Amino acid sequence: MTNEYRSLKDHVYNHIVDLIDGGTLADDHKISEQQICDALGVSRTPVREALIQLAADGYLENVPRKGFYVKRVTEDSAREIVEIIGPLDGRAALLAVGDMTDDDIAQLQFLHGSMQLAIEKGLYKKYDDLQHDFHDCYVRKCGNTRLIGLIHQMNRYFMKWEYANVGADELDGLLRKANEEHAEIVRLFELRDGEELQRFIRDVHWSIDNAQVPRLVAPNPGAAFHAESARLSRERECGACQHVGVPYAQQLASKDTRVAELFADVADASALRPILGMDEPYCYRNKVVSPYAPGRKLQGSANARAGKGRDARGGRDGKRAQKPRREILCGMYAAGSHRIVPTDGCLIENEEAKRIIRTVRDLMPRFGIEPYREDSGTGFLRHAVVRVGHTSGEILVTLVTNGRAFPHRARFAESWCAAALASRRSCRT
């Protein structure tokens, strides 16, 4: 994975998409341009550009003289999407089958097993993320960039189950059936049977009857395919995740072998007990640490508003000079470097902790808080440490700064608490 540098318009675009996906902006909700401007500390121009693009991509509806609204997906439009995406996905599988390596197929097997575990644990959002990774594993190997682009376009409208309206037993059955189909897809890839693979994905996996269109609801932009970023490669990039792409059973076996090697001189391997694995090997890391750093320059420039007459450390330096606005990066250091890798799709970090880290990042421009620059020792916010109690639900947030005077600390804390509370409500409803 590489750092995804974005223009200011793209930054606003993704922020709005996150609000829609998280439920903060529901169907028919009117978008407040001023609220977006205030939240991100940007002018109306990039916000307007992002809204126009979101309308063109199908997220929003531009109502003349009234503004932009979150677009409601009807049963008819949902049916049309399913009818189109099936042939596209099937064609991608046919084109990819000859280039799928044994490692690729092993990854499909791992993701299938992970989806099964997510179903058993009731982690439906995790299941949704994993099944998109599953399809992306072969879509990105099809070799047809135009086809990949079409799939991306269709998945901007991709439907998700409204789990709240489905009984637990019915939902369990629906997801288990879908995952049985994923197992069949893996089997056909193993057989290299491209024609049958295409037919099965098109006519069975993506059939209208299977989709049960009336149950499908608003777009799920956050679960779209990400072929460009290839989240499946993060184990080769992120310094904390070198083994996450290895099937969990294989990880445990490898650790058993390593322990036996370490104790070979003092104990027979048969005397060693196998390592006990976790029932849920995902989202278990309840302490998440993320640095903040400036990315590339965004379009336009603005005053760095770290507080009137204060420098990046909180000290006095008279008038502040105009500084170009930069993207703020957060995540995890890549292996063996200080290059930051985004961890939005990380499988092991606590989901709520990641949301908090992103909330801090999104509030920084609003209050003129600059990320720390390692090369010059300037900038204010170095990193955040978030601890989430799995049992108590309590959260401890520690912000490590490059100075004592926190710009607008009371207003920042108030805004952050409000955003964090809204996020908790949206993710738990």
Claim to verify: residue 36 and residue 129 sit in the same structural domain: no
For residues 38 and 265, is the Cβ–Cβ distance under 8 A? no
Within a domain: residue 277? no
Residues 161 and 198 in one domain: yes
Residue at 230 is within a domain = no
Residues 199 and 262 grouped into a single domain: no
What is the pLDDT tens value at each position of the chain, 429 positions in all?
A: 333 445 778 888 878 876 776 556 766 788 888 888 887 888 889 899 999 988 887 778 899 888 998 877 666 766 777 788 889 999 999 999 999 999 889 989 988 988 888 888 777 767 877 888 899 899 989 999 889 878 876 765 554 444 444 556 777 788 888 899 999 999 999 999 999 999 999 999 888 766 554 444 433 333 332 322 333 344 445 555 656 656 677 777 778 888 888 888 887 767 778 888 777 777 788 899 999 999 877 765 444 444 444 444 444 444 444 455 788 989 888 766 777 877 776 778 888 888 899 899 989 998 989 999 988 889 999 999 999 998 888 899 999 999 988 988 889 988 888 877 765 644 443
123 and 207 both lie in a single domain: yes
| Same-domain status, 219 and 244 | no
Q: Report the C-alpha gap between 185 and 191 in whole angstroms.
A: 10
Of 27, 51, 70, the residue that ends a domain is 70
pLDDT of residue 187: 95
SS (H, E, C) 229-297: CCHHHHHHCECCCCCCCCCHHHHHHHHHHHHHHHCCCCCCHHHCCCCCCCCCCCCCECEEEEEEEEEEE
Question: Which residue range forms the structural domain that includes residue 58?
Answer: 8-70
Check: CB of residue 37 under 8 Å from CB of residue 74. Answer: no
Say how many domains are in the chain.
4
Q: Where among 70, 88, 116 does a domain terminate?
A: 70
Which structure tokens are listed for 360?
Answer: 């801090």
184 and 44 in a single domain? The answer is no
pLDDT at 382: 94
Indicate whether 276 belongs to any domain.
no
Are 182 and 115 within 8 A, CB to CB? yes
pLDDT of amino acid 180 = 93
Q: Is residue 23 part of a domain?
A: yes
* Residue 316: how many other CB atoms lie within 10 Å: 9
Residue 418 lies in a domain: yes
Q: Do 79 and 219 belong together in one domain?
A: yes
- Model pLDDT, residue 413: 87
Q: What secondary structure, in 3-state letters, does 88-152 show?
A: HHHHHHHHHHHHCCHHHHHHHHHHHHHHHHHHHCCCHHHHHHHHHHHHHHHHCCCCCHHHHHHHH
Specify the DSSP element, H or E, that contains 323: strand 322-323
pLDDT confidence of residue 153: 67
pLDDT in tens, 216-254: 443 333 333 232 233 334 444 555 565 665 667 777 777
pLDDT given at position 386: 94
- Kindly report, residue by residue over 182-208, the tens digit of the pLDDT: 999 999 999 999 999 999 999 998 887
Could you tell me if 28 and 81 lie in one domain?
A: no
Instruction: Confirm whether 280 is domain-assigned.
Output: no
Tokens in use for 250? 């294989």
Residue 30 has a pLDDT of: 86
Q: Is residue 43 domain-resident? A: yes
